[in-house]
Amino acid sequence: MKFVILGCGRVGSRLATMLDMMGHDVAIIDKNQDSFKRLPPNYNGQAIIGVGIDEDVLRSAGIEQADVFAAVTNGDNTNIMASEIAKELFNVPRVLARIYDPLREETYHALGLETICPTTLISNVIVGRVLPGENKPKVPTPAGTNPLGTEASA
């Protein structure tokens, strides 16, 4: 399969390395060349310097042939924007975005984006290990907040 990954931090570099070791075609994009130092010397995929919302950068990574696009930068906004571009402009069949803010995660799920929220995952794992067998509650959105990060209007 062809994978395009945005963000060569700890998650992106590990994901790219794992997929490459499994024999997949991998391209990873990051705006900082030093980030690629996280990749092992035997990494066989592409490492592309650039901004992941730039269509030319995405094309150079092979987005038009990608089966999967994963946006795993540290920025929720960048991940969402890049995911929308991959999904809507390039019709990538499977698009995943890492979202740190659980309030945004719910909103983007409602809009049809597949997200992964480390905040939610880690909280669920801790509760599951400390209180095995108990049902985890759905944590409500705090009153007066807007999941997209802008101020709620009165």
Position 141 scores a pLDDT of: 55
Residues of the chain with pLDDT under 50: 143-154
CATH of the domain at 34: 3.40.50.720
Question: What tokens were used for 2?
Answer: 């062809």
Q: Note whether residue 63 is domain-resident.
A: yes
Residue 19 lies in a domain: yes
Q: Quick check: is 7 in a domain?
A: yes
- Count structural domains, the chain: 1
Residue 62 lies in a domain: yes
According to DSSP, the residues that pair with 9 across neighbouring strands are: none
Q: In the prediction, which pLDDT does 108 show?
A: 81
pLDDT tens digits for range 39-50: 999 999 999 999
Angle, CA 70 vertex, CA 34 and CA 103 arms, to 5°: 105
Which residue bears the tokens 């705090």?
A: 142
Is residue 17 situated within a structural domain? Answer: yes
**pLDDT for the residue 119:** 85
User: What is residue 39's predicted lDDT score, i.e. its pLDDT?
Assistant: 97
Examine residue 150 and state whether it is found in any structural domain, yes or no. Answer: no
34-46 CB burial, b ≥16 within 10 A, e <16 = ebbebbeeebebe
- Residue 30's pLDDT is 98
Q: Which domain holds residue 10?
A: 2-98
pLDDT of res. 125: 87
> How confident is the model at residue 102, as a pLDDT?
85
- pTM: predicted TM-score of the whole model, two decimal places: 0.85
Q: Is position 40 within any domain?
A: yes
Q: Let me know: does 29 contact 50? Beta carbons within 8 Å.
A: yes
- Show the tokens assigned to 26: 């991998």
